[in-house]
């Protein structure tokens, strides 16, 4: 390349996709410019109430990421800005960004809110869809980043030529600047990532279901705001027309989606689960509400989704009605809505609801399309960014990558995965320029606290209503003020938000605090955030303690408010007691083995390995068989119709010729020792000596199997095939398949049942694809698909429409009345058609069973070796289902492909790129952070008895002769895992774990029982 590589990336879009990619890139050694159109970053995820299938509060899981981002010195946020032009070639580009005038100086504004409090102009709040009001100077949400207010000149009196200027007068920081102009900024970058998000179809313009005219008809996103504690009604479910409490709420699915007439032939993919979740959460808020969901097919095609759907259904919480809604009219007096529909028995019914939620379809916005055109990035026929299944984050323009909804409708984990994949692809492109434009974060010196009287600050979190609706937070705060050593106690709406971090730092200075206790959620996710904040304020990280009053209290004692409050007080008192005893502890860095081990030589494993190698690190690839390719070798084409074989051949050749990759064929992992940075894995190859591989990180990409059915006559007749077998038959052009007069596909064979409750995700698409191929080859062939719900999610939906148009017959059956197969001269399939309510009999020549994708038996053993988890069903369990889809909870181990859950080719490739990217990110750091929470031996107390040597599971303590006959135990802090076993075994109390000393725990016990 003639041009020099630029070690910076322009990230366009500040939603969860943009945030994830920015964090990944900054961690990997690249400077990031994050451009967001709105005044604050956060995107749609910041507007959501809860997320499925875990019911995690969206703000709670997202805030730490936003916070980490805001604290990162290598990410520059350009909010209220847009990308205007992009010139140059991949690796070296010049971007022109326009930052719009806010009329508020972002350097001076402290986000105190005085301006908005005094502003005399009240306008509808678009962030809450007009369900409440804001001022002409505003911030979208309290925790918004950057924490800067913005004047809307359309509403501001000063801009409308009237006498005002109030905000300028009251602003204590002198930040208001009515003369401010747009700034045009030129940036040098090496790559660009587009994560532009989506918008809802404009239902008001279509006049669909009276939206816009009937106040009690709202969209899915409005419902999120209505449910949200920080929303217009503070989480109280409220009817917009009269402020009353609704009792019957209906959700109508597929509004605009799956409807070519509305220009939306695609399925929006997320609305079924979003509605089910909203219905479940609605009930959680108010158990007297009766939710009903009107749907065509329930598309619960992700990990844990079908189980969630079944729970909502069987717990009797949500009523599901499969129908098309034919009419919706408003009662002019009560403003309730009469919904007319044909029920499952074919009867025309009218029912009245207090409120209706429209599961409105999603699309790319006009602005996104215009941007794509300006950048020369191609869109597909559905106006989403065009990509291939084999390079799912590569746009048509080199150096420009895509992630998230802009590439196609998908849920948060898919967006996060693609974001990491796009970051990985950028990092690979710009690998030579890594670290050239980044700076290291500087901290103030640590304040010594040894010997000082404890001055403890207690921050009690309301967590919106998550804690405050059960625990009486003000009373807790009052009780804390009485506890000895507590110098400050206060409450926050969201303690994890950016503005609260600023507050905490200020309070630490103001009250001269030397310990802080945060009473909020689990330290497992949030402790690092508060540690960082404390460190920025000059406190050692280990002087922060948390009390978990959410997961361990408010969420599990929702019906016992008083006792929950008592328990919260106890938990915080325990934390305060412990914090009194806390001491400064220093972390250190350990050297790292800068190489990776990838387990599995299928598409996921190979793509991960190529990404890691492409970033300059060596890889050992372990494959159980004698060839690379895995199940992809048996597949014919992708859902987009791309041939799979050439792709697999290409990446296999690249793996084999890549000098940084060493492939172990016919290989098996015998044992794994060590931890991130220093793993030692023993690999044995058929007949050969086992070899020891040292590696710093690992990727698990072992794939999944196909269930061999014991139903529908499988195994008794060669004309009955599974999906993998039909793929191979197509590849071989098997005439008994291709020329069959009548073909029947049976869906959900072994999936979505008692033994295997999950949806195998790909089978509906796969069957529809093959049904189309059969019909196109032979229009006279009869093709039937027997299904429960057709799940051709996202951009695959048009295939379903096409199959129906070609004459493929779709027959819905109920799980309780499965089809019956009899094998004779013909294969007789009898099925009760749920539409006609009668049994039909089909004589078939070929029967295809859409058999379940199942986890391998060996997963649990492998999981044990790598100290990672599997879910109940046996697939590997990621660190967090929404936000960490390619990481394990165990540091340095990553996950890709079907080992995680069934997925399509493009999803597998994206996840593999992402896993590779995260693995390389750890390797690029070059060292491992070793926590200082290790064992230390007090040499005066140690008698050299050696019990610690015997008990240590990691063989760390050593007995050294310090003088003739005098033995002392020594513990290497670099090797100690901090398990504390030595401390327990030590008879004299010489060995103790820093940060978990006896008195620190003992005082907690005292406090709990005081």
Partner 1 sequence: MNLLGIDEKRLRREWISASEGQRFAEVIREFTEEIRKLGKNPLIQREIAV
Partner 2 sequence: MSSDFDPKIIAFACNWCSYAGADLAGVSRMQYPPSVRLIRLMCSGMLAPSYILKAFEKGADGVLVTG
Summarize as ranges the residues that interact with partner 1 (CB under 8 A).
556, 869-872, 877, 889
Question: Which lies closer to partner 1 via its Cβ, residue 403 or residue 883?
Answer: 883
Cα–Cα distance list, 893 to 556, 662, 681, 701, 954 (Å): 31, 19, 13, 11, 20
Is 933 among the residues that bind partner 2 (CB under 8 A)? yes
The site partner of 563 among partner 2, partner 1, none (C-beta below 5 to 8 Å per kind) is: partner 2
The site partner of 55 among partner 2, partner 1, none (C-beta below 5 to 8 Å per kind) is: partner 2
The label of the residue with tokens 């919106």 reads 464
Is 551 among the residues that bind partner 2 (CB under 8 A)? yes
The site partner of 872 among partner 2, partner 1, none (C-beta below 5 to 8 Å per kind) is: partner 1
Backbone angles phi, psi at 244, to 5 degrees: -80, 175
Is 680 among the residues that bind partner 2 (CB under 8 A)? no
Q: What is the largest CA-CA distance in the chain?
A: 99
Question: Which lies closer to partner 2 via its Cβ, residue 62 or residue 390?
Answer: 62
Rounded CA gap, 365 and 360, in Å? 14
Is 555 among the residues that bind partner 2 (CB under 8 A)? yes
The site partner of 871 among partner 2, partner 1, none (C-beta below 5 to 8 Å per kind) is: partner 1
Binding residues for partner 2, total number by CB under 8 A: 45
Q: Residues 596, 695: contact at Cβ < 8 Å?
A: yes
And the tokens for 210?
A: 């009276």
Question: Which lies closer to partner 1 via its Cβ, residue 71 or residue 869?
Answer: 869
Is 1006 among the residues that bind partner 2 (CB under 8 A)? yes
Rounded (10°) angle between helices 644-657 and 603-614: 40
Q: How far is the CB of 578 from partner 2 (least distance, A)?
A: 9
| Buried b or exposed e, range 677-696, using 16+ CB within 10 angstroms | bbbebebbeeeeeeeebebb
Rounded CA gap, 765 and 767, in Å? 6
The residue from 131, 283, 567, 770 that contacts partner 2 (CB under 8 A) is 567
Binding pattern to partner 2, positions 509-528, x when CB under 8 A?
-------------xxx----
Is 817 among the residues that bind partner 2 (CB under 8 A)? no
Is 571 among the residues that bind partner 2 (CB under 8 A)? yes
The site partner of 938 among partner 1, partner 2, none (C-beta below 5 to 8 Å per kind) is: none
Q: How far is the CB of 869 from partner 2 (least distance, A)?
A: 9
Is 588 among the residues that bind partner 2 (CB under 8 A)? no
Is 980 among the residues that bind partner 2 (CB under 8 A)? yes
The residue from 108, 285, 319, 552 that contacts partner 2 (CB under 8 A) is 552
The residue from 371, 411, 496, 574 that contacts partner 2 (CB under 8 A) is 574
Strands (E), 676-734: 678-685, 691-695, 697-700, 705-706, 720-722
And the tokens for 775?
A: 């019909």
Question: Which lies closer to partner 2 via its Cβ, residue 144 or residue 980?
Answer: 980
Q: Residues 408, 794: contact at Cβ < 8 Å?
A: yes
Q: How far is the CB of 887 from partner 1 (least distance, A)?
A: 14
- Of 468, 539, 533, 471, which Cα lies nearest the Cα of 64? 533
The residue from 806, 823, 967, 979 that contacts partner 2 (CB under 8 A) is 979
Backbone angles phi, psi at 574, to 5 degrees: -65, -45
Helical segments of 784-849, H only: 797-805
Is 589 among the residues that bind partner 2 (CB under 8 A)? no
Q: How far is the CB of 866 from partner 1 (least distance, A)?
A: 14
Backbone angles phi, psi at 993, to 5 degrees: -90, 130
Binding pattern to partner 2, positions 268-287, x when CB under 8 A?
----------------x---
Give the interface segment with partner 2, choosing from 13-21, 104-112, 547-555, 680-688 (CB under 8 A).
547-555
Q: How far is the CB of 869 from partner 1 (least distance, A)?
A: 6
The residue from 556, 653, 656, 777 that contacts partner 2 (CB under 8 A) is 556
Question: Which lies closer to partner 1 via its Cβ, residue 526 or residue 994?
Answer: 526
Question: Which lies closer to partner 1 via its Cβ, residue 310 or residue 776?
Answer: 310
Q: What value, to the nearest 5°, has the Cα angle with vertex 251 and ends 789 and 230?
A: 125
Q: What is the full DSSP assignment across 148-196? A: --EE-TTT-TTTTT-S--HHHHH-TT--B-TT---EEEEEEESEEEE--
Q: How far is the CB of 770 from partner 1 (least distance, A)?
A: 36
Residues β-bridged to residue 668? 684
Helix H or strand E encompassing 477: helix 473-481
Rounded CA gap, 332 and 173, in Å? 50
Strands (E), 824-926: 827-833, 838-844, 846-851, 853-854, 869-870, 876-877, 893-895
Peptide bond preceding 53 in cis form (omega within 30 of 0): yes
Rounded CA gap, 879 and 510, in Å? 38
Q: How far is the CB of 232 from partner 2 (least distance, A)?
A: 24
Question: Which lies closer to partner 2 via its Cβ, residue 653 or residue 1005?
Answer: 1005
The residue from 148, 564, 598, 847 that contacts partner 2 (CB under 8 A) is 564
The residue from 473, 729, 981, 991 that contacts partner 2 (CB under 8 A) is 981
The site partner of 877 among partner 2, partner 1, none (C-beta below 5 to 8 Å per kind) is: partner 1
And the tokens for 456?
A: 């403890």
Where along the sequence are the contacts to partner 2 (CB under 8 A)?
54-56, 284, 522-524, 548, 550-553, 555-560, 563-564, 566-567, 570-571, 574, 889, 933, 953, 977-981, 983-984, 993, 996, 998, 1001-1002, 1004-1006, 1008-1009
């Amino acid at each position: 390349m003639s041009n020099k590589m630029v070690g910076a990336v322009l990230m366009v879009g500040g939603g969860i996709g943009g945030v994830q990619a920015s964090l990944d890139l900054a961690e990997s050694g690249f400077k990031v410019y994050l451009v967001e159109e709105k005044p604050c970053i956060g995107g749609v995820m910041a507007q959501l109430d809860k997320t499925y299938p875990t019911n995690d509060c969206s703000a709670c899981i997202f805030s730490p990421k936003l916070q980490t981002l805001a604290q990162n010195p290598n990410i520059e946020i350009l909010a209220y800005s847009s990308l205007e032009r992009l010139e140059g070639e991949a690796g070296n580009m010049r971007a022109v960004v326009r930052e719009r005038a806010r009329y508020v100086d972002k350097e001076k504004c402290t986000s105190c809110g005085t301006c908005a409090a005094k502003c005399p102009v009240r306008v509808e709040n678009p962030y809450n869809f007009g369900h409440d009001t804001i001022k002409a100077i505003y911030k979208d949400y309290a925790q918004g980043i950057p924490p800067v207010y913005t004047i809307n000149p359309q509403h501001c009196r000063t801009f409308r030529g009237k006498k005002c200027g109030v905000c300028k007068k009251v602003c204590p920081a002198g930040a208001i600047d009515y003369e401010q102009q747009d700034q045009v900024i030129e940036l040098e970058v090496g790559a660009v990532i587009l994560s532009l998000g989506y918008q809802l179809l404009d239902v008001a313009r279509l006049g669909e279901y009276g939206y816009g005219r009937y106040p009690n008809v709202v969209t899915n996103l409005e419902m999120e705001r209505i449910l949200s504690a920080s929303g217009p009604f503070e989480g109280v479910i409220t009817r917009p027309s009269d402020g009353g409490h609704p009792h019957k709420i209906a959700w109508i699915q597929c509004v605009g989606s799956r409807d070519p007439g509305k220009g939306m032939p695609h399925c929006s993919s997320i609305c079924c689960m979003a509605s089910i979740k909203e219905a479940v959460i609605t009930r959680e808020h108010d158990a007297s509400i009766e939710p009903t969901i009107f749907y065509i097919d329930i598309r619960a095609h992700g990990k844990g989704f079908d189980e969630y759907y079944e729970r909502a259904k069987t717990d009797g919480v949500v009523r599901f009605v499969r129908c098309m809604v034919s009419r919706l009219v408003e009662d002019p007096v009560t403003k309730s809505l009469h919904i007319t529909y044909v029920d499952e028995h074919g009867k025309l019914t009218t029912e009245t609801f207090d409120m209706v939620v429209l599961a409105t379809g999603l699309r790319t916005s006009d602005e996104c399309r215009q941007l794509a055109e300006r950048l020369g990035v191609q869109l597909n026929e559905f106006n989403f960014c065009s990509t291939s299944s084999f390079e799912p984050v590569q746009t048509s323009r080199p150096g420009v990558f895509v992630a998230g909804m802009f590439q196609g409708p998908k849920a948060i984990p898919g967006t996060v995965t693609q974001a990491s994949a796009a970051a990985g692809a950028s990092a690979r492109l710009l690998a030579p320029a890594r670290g050239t434009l980044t700076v290291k974060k500087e901290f103030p010196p640590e304040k010594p606290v040894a010997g000082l009287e404890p001055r403890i600050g207690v921050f009690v979190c309301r967590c919106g209503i998550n804690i405050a609706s059960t625990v009486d937070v003000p009373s807790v705060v009052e009780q804390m003020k009485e506890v000895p050593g507590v110098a400050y106690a206060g409450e926050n709406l969201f303690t994890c938000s950016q503005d609260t971090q600023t507050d905490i730092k200020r309070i630490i200075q103001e009250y001269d605090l030397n310990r802080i206790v945060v009473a909020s959620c689990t330290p497992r996710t949030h402790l690092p955030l508060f540690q960082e904040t404390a460190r920025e304020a000059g406190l050692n990280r280990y002087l922060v303690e948390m009390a978990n009053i959410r997961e361990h209290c408010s969420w599990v004692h929702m019906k016992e408010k008083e006792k929950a409050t008592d328990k919260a007080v106890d938990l915080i008192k325990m934390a305060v007691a412990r914090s009194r005893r806390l001491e400064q502890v220093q972390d250190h860095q350990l050297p790292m083995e800068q190489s990776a081990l990838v387990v599995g030589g299928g598409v996921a494993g190979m793509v991960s390995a190529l990404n890691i190698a492409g970033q300059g690190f060596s890889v050992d690839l372990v494959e159980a068989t004698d060839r690379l390719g895995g199940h992809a070798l048996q597949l014919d084409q992708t859902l987009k119709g791309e041939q799979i074989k050439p792709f697999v051949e290409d990446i296999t050749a690249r793996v084999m010729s890549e000098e940084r990759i060493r492939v172990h064929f016919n290989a098996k992992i015998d044992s794994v020792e060590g931890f991130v940075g220093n793993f030692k894995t023993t690999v044995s190859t058929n007949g050969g000596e086992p070899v020891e591989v040292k590696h710093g990180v690992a990727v698990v990409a072992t794939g999944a199997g196909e269930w061999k059915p014991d139903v529908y006559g499988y195994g008794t007749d060669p004309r009955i095939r599974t999906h993998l077998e039909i793929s191979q038959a197509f590849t071989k052009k098997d005439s008994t398949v291709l020329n069959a007069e009548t073909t029947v596909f049976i869906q959900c064979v072994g999936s979505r049942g008692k033994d295997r409750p999950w949806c195998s995700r790909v089978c509906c698409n796969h069957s529809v694809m093959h049904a189309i191929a059969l019909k196109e080859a032979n229009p006279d062939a009869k093709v039937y698909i027997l299904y429960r719900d057709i799940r051709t999610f996202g951009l695959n939906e048009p295939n379903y429409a096409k199959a129906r148009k070609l004459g493929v017959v779709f027959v819905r059956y109920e799980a309780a009345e499965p089809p019956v197969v009899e094998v004779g001269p013909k294969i007789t399939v009898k099925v009760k058609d749920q539409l006609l309510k009668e049994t039909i009999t089909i004589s078939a020549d070929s029967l295809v069973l859409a058999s379940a994708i199942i986890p391998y038996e060996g997963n649990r053993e492998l999981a044990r070796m790598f100290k990672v988890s599997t879910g109940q069903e046996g697939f590997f369990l990621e660190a967090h289902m929404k936000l960490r889809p390619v990481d394990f909870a165990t540091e340095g181990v990553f996950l890709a492909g079907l080992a995680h859950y069934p997925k399509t080719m493009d999803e597998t490739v994206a996840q593999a790129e992402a896993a590779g990217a995260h693995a390389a990110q750890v390797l690029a750091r070059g060292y491992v952070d070793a926590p200082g929470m290790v064992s230390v031996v007090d040499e005066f107390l140690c008698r050299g008895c050696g019990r610690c040597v015997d008990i240590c599971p990691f063989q760390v303590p050593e007995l050294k002769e310090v003088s003739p006959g005098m033995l002392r135990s020594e513990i290497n802090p670099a090797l100690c895992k901090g398990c504390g076993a030595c401390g327990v075994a030590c008879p004299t109390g010489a060995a103790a774990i820093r940060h978990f000393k006896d008195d620190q725990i003992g005082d907690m016990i005292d406090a709990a029982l005081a």
